[in-house]
């Protein structure tokens, strides 16, 4: 038995655009993901979030699944375009009312709502004015935080300002593989900086509420494939991990990367604002990053896509996303955080999960043994990190439901519950029953 500490929070996570659907209902405005997914070739099979899991209408039945799992917390995101359809200006009360109902139902079930303000669905109206490359979006986000704090501030125990600013900026503005589909290195750096500034502007606003405040970053330990790749690996670590951890936890950008990028867009006061004290750090972990500099020419100053430098060791097992399955990477990154960042606040694992080739068998079940093994391995590694002294307060499995997996569309299933998109029927996979038992035991059997 690998028991987690007393009071450890067990949860599952979702995000608005990936599950809600109803993209034009009750005053919702368009987001950059509505625009991007409608762009031919942007998303596999031309999939969009227009319907997704129809969660905007089926949320009550989905919340019954949370009770079935026995989780003590549920992480989900608010759709900024439901609350401020134009990104700023007029507030849409229907949007706020929807999320009030969700939060109140969770509380009535004894489940802690963990609310992400921004999980990639920027109002299109803001992108029309430059989006995250426009410094004005910082103030728009601060206003959005004020509106949300006023509406829900008395009943949300944990706030997450941003989900994975690295993906929003380097994948959305650097590689163009995510919305808004821009492929420009300097835009990626500007977007990353403004996202971090937006986080810094929102922290004091949310701190006025009764809730704790944090941010979620995706972290991945970086390994060189051969010793000659050590420099390239350090740059990728600088791009994916340190470019966000250093400002958030140490109030500075990493010197080696400032030089590498030639970055000079921080204004006086920005770094102090970004480094506002956190009540917790959300960490999303999926895999390690393997790097081979291979090409001897200097890689693009901004790593638009890590894939360009990733050479995955053939011997390692992979998920359907092509990501190597490396549970010990979770222990490694948490111990590194504790070692390298003395100001590290308590940690929540806000996402961990995997896509496998799930299917409904002739008996009508989904026997996803690979997912059970994935989760068990990562929970064991998490217990190792806690035994090593890392203060981890909770774990959120990604995800409650199969959902819209961004540029991969619906072809990649991460859910504990299988979704038949033709009927919207939810079916507990074997991993759902396994996870419910882990939650009940407060640890691995």
Ligand X SMILES: N=[N+]=NCCCCNC(=O)[C@@H]1[C@H]2[C@H](O)[C@@H](O)[C@H](O)[C@@H](CO)[C@@H]12
Q: Which of 80, 132, 396, 398 binds ligand X (CB under 6 A)?
A: 398
Q: Which of 351, 358, 370, 384 binds ligand X (CB under 6 A)?
A: 351
Q: Which of 62, 332, 384, 405 binds ligand X (CB under 6 A)?
A: 405
Told to check if 287 binds ligand X by CB under 6 A, we report yes
Told to check if 169 binds ligand X by CB under 6 A, we report no
Told to check if 410 binds ligand X by CB under 6 A, we report no
Told to check if 43 binds ligand X by CB under 6 A, we report no
Nearer to ligand X, 216 or 273 (CB): 216
In angstroms, what is the minimal distance from the CB of 403 to ligand X? 7
> Is there a binding annotation on residue 406?
yes
Q: Which stretch binds ligand X (CB under 6 A): 134-142, 202-210, 284-292, 416-424?
A: 284-292
In angstroms, what is the minimal distance from the CB of 163 to ligand X? 5
Question: What is the Cα–Cα distance from 80 to 78, expressed in whole angstroms?
Answer: 6
In angstroms, what is the minimal distance from the CB of 167 to ligand X? 5
164 is catalytic: yes
Catalytic residue among 20, 326, 332, 351: 351
Told to check if 356 binds ligand X by CB under 6 A, we report no
Residue showing tokens 């996402």: 351
351 is catalytic: yes
Told to check if 144 binds ligand X by CB under 6 A, we report no
Catalytic residue among 164, 326, 332, 370: 164
State the SS3 of the chain.
Answer: CEECCCCCEEEEECCHHHHCCCCCHHHCCCEHHHHHHCCCCCCHHHCCCCCCCCHHHHHHHHHHHHHHHCCCEEEEECCHHHHCCCCCCCCCHHHHHHHHHHHHHHHHCCCEEEEEEECCCCEHHHHCCCHHHCCHHHHHHHHHHHHHHHHHCCCCCEEEEEECHHHHHHHHHHHCCCCCCCCCHHHHHHHHHHHHHHHHHHHHHHCCCCCEEEEEEECCCEEECCHHHHHHHHHHHHHHHHHHHHHHHHCCCCHHHHHHHCCCCCCCCHHHHHCCCCCEEEEECCCCEEECCCCCCCCCCCCCCHHHHECCCCCCCECCCCCECCCHHHHHHHHHHHHHCCCCCCEEEEEECCCCCCCCCCCCCCCCHHHHHHHHHHHHHHHHHHHCCCCEEEEEEECCECCCCHHHHHHCCCCCEEEECCCCEEEECHHHHHHHHHHHHCEEC
Nearer to ligand X, 141 or 286 (CB): 286
Told to check if 164 binds ligand X by CB under 6 A, we report yes
Q: Which stretch binds ligand X (CB under 6 A): 201-209, 280-288, 339-347, 367-375?
A: 280-288
Q: Which of 63, 118, 323, 356 binds ligand X (CB under 6 A)?
A: 323
Which residues are paired to 228 by β-bridges?
none
Told to check if 284 binds ligand X by CB under 6 A, we report yes
> Is there a binding annotation on residue 86?
no
In angstroms, what is the minimal distance from the CB of 440 to ligand X? 26
> Is there a binding annotation on residue 18?
yes
Count residues near ligand X (CB under 6 A).
16
Nearer to ligand X, 270 or 351 (CB): 351
Which residues of this chain interact with ligand X, rule CB under 6 A? 15, 18, 163-164, 167, 218, 220, 284, 286-287, 306, 323, 351, 398, 405, 414
Catalytic positions are 164, 351
Indicate the annotated binding residues for substrate. Answer: 18, 119, 163, 286, 398, 405-406
């Amino acid at each position: 038995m690998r028991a987690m500490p007393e009071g450890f929070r067990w949860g599952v996570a979702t995000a608005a655009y990936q599950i809600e659907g109803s993209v034009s209902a009750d005053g919702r405005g368009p987001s950059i993901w509505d625009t991007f997914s409608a762009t031919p070739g942007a998303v596999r099979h031309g999939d969009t979030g227009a319907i997704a899991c129809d969660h905007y209408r089926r949320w009550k039945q989905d919340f019954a699944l949370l009770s079935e799992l026995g989780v003590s917390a549920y992480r989900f995101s608010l759709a900024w375009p439901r609350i401020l359809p134009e990104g700023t200006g007029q507030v849409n009360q229907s949007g706020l009312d929807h999320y009030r109902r969700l939060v109140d139902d969770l509380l009535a079930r004894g489940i802690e709502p963990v609310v992400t303000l921004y999980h990639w669905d920027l109002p299109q109206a803001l992108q029309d004015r430059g989006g995250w490359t426009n410094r004005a979006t910082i103030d728009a986000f601060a206003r959005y935080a004020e509106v949300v704090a006023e509406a829900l501030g008395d009943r949300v125990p944990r706030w997450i300002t941003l989900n994975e600013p690295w993906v929003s900026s380097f994948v959305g503005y650097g590689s163009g593989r995510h919305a808004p589909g821009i492929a420009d290195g300097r835009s990626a750096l500007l977007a990353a900086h403004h996202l971090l500034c937006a986080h810094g502007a929102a922290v004091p606003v949310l701190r006025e509420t009764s809730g704790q405040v944090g941010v979620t970053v995706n972290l991945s330990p970086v390994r060189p494939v051969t010793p000659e790749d050590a420099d390239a690996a350090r740059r990728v670590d600088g791009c994916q991990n340190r470019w966000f951890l250093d400002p958030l936890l140490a109030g500075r950008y990493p010197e080696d990367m400032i030089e590498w990028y030639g970055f000079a867009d921080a204004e006086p006061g920005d770094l102090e604002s970004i480094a506002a004290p956190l009540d917790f750090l959300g960490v999303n972990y999926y895999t390690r990053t393997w790097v081979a500099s291979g090409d001897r020419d200097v890689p693009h100053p901004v790593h638009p896509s890590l894939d360009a430098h990733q050479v995955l060791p053939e011997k390692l097992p992979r998920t359907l996303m092509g990501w190597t399955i490396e549970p010990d990477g979770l222990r490694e990154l948490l111990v590194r955080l504790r070692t390298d960042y003395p100001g590290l606040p308590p940690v929540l694992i806000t996402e961990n999960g995997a896509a496998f080739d799930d299917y409904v068998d002739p008996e009508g079940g989904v026997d996803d043994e690979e997912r059970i093994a994935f989760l068990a391995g990562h929970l064991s590694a998490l217990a190792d990190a806690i035994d090593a002294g890392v203060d981890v307060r909770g774990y959120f499995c990604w995800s409650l439901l199969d959902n819209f997996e961004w540029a991969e569309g619906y072809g990649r299933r991460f859910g504990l519950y299988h979704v038949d998109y033709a009927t919207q029927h939810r079916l507990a996979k074997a991993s759902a029953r396994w996870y419910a038992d882990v939650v009940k035991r407060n640890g691995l059997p």
